[in-house]
Amino acid sequence: MTEERLMLDKQKTLEKNYPFWPHLTDEEKKRLTENCVAKTYEKGEMIHRSEEQCKGAILLLDGQLRVYIVSEEGREITLFRIREGESCVMSASCLLDSIAFDMMIEAVQKTEALIIPVHVLHPVMEQNPYVGLYLYKAATERFSDVMWTIQQILFMGIDQRVAHFLWDESLHQGQEIAMTHDEIARYIGSAREVVSKVLKYLAEDGIVSLGRGKIRILDKKKLKELL
């Protein structure tokens, strides 16, 4: 692919995915297009760690990212996930001066992304209010996701949380969910022992069957009744 063709592709991708694009000057469009960076993350790769410098706005072309927090004792809570066509502004949190908490971002699977680095995004954000409006609006949207997660964790019983998790995963992975009890516990912010207990209970009820590193959903109707 020629350099020119590549630029055109990048511009089209940015234009399609960032609603502030029509409000940019030609100069601003050029700057973002020329300086955005294509990047591939491997499964499990860390994209953002609290103590590190922030990367910029990450637009997901393919794959999935998971944004989570970790306690001092290593307990994880998944806040939300970023999927294809969505962009992650949390990785540009240094630009959002009202965000003052630490979070981690990892690639759940192999992920292709287009990144607008912070040093490129920052001056454009300073001179064009539509860019900041977009970034803060996107952050507020995640706020809403996080509130949902929190209400689940704080207000729902652990069995309901496991049921919800299995249900959501089955929408992505199908009837067989390839995850260990430990992984599920980390995803829903609980302990492995607790998750194993709930899964055993679900298995005894004929809702799931348990295999090595996988859970098979046998009765979707019954599972749904638990939600």
Provide the binding-site residues for a second copy, judged by CB under 8 A. 23, 69, 71-73, 75, 77, 96, 98-101, 129-130, 132-133, 136-144, 146-148, 150-151, 153-155, 189
Rounded to a whole number of angstroms, the minimum distance from the CB of residue 205 to a second copy is 23
Q: Residue 217 in contact with residue 199, Cβ under 8 Å?
A: no
DSSP state for residue 16 in the 8-state scheme: H
CB of residue 213 vs a second copy: minimum separation in angstroms? 27
- Minimum gap (Å) between residue 144 Cβ and a second copy: 5
Q: Which of 65, 60, 57 is nearest to 119 (CA)?
A: 57
Are 184 and 194 in contact by the 8 Å Cβ rule? The answer is no
Q: Supply the minimum distance, in Å, between the C-beta of residue 133 and a second copy.
A: 5
Q: Minimum distance from CB of 85 to a second copy (Å)?
A: 16
Judged by beta carbon, residue 153 or residue 226, the one nearer a second copy is 153
Nearer to a second copy, 7 or 69 (CB): 69
**Using CA atoms, how far apart are residues 66 and 225, in angstroms rounded to an integer?**
28
Judged by DSSP in three states, 166 sits in helix
Residue 37 or 156 with smaller CB distance to a second copy: 156
* Nearer residue to a second copy within complex by CB, 23 or 216: 23
d(CA 74, CA 59): 28
The separation between the first and the last C-alpha atoms of the chain, rounded to the nearest angstrom, is 49
Nearer to a second copy, 125 or 184 (CB): 125
Least separation in angstroms between CB 98 and a second copy: 4
Q: Is 157 helix (H, G, I), strand (E, B) or coil?
A: coil
Residue closer to a second copy (CB basis): 7 or 139? 139
Quick one: 2 or 98, whose CB is closer to a second copy? 98
Note whether 119 and 128 are within 8 A (CB): no
Query: Which H or E element spans position 78?
Result: strand 76-83
CA 39 – CA 151 distance, rounded (Å) = 34
Can you read off the two tokens belonging to residue 98? Answer: 């009202």
CB of 148 to a second copy, least distance (A): 6
CA-CA distance, 27 to 25, in Å (whole number)? 5
**Side chain identity at residue 65, one-letter code:** L
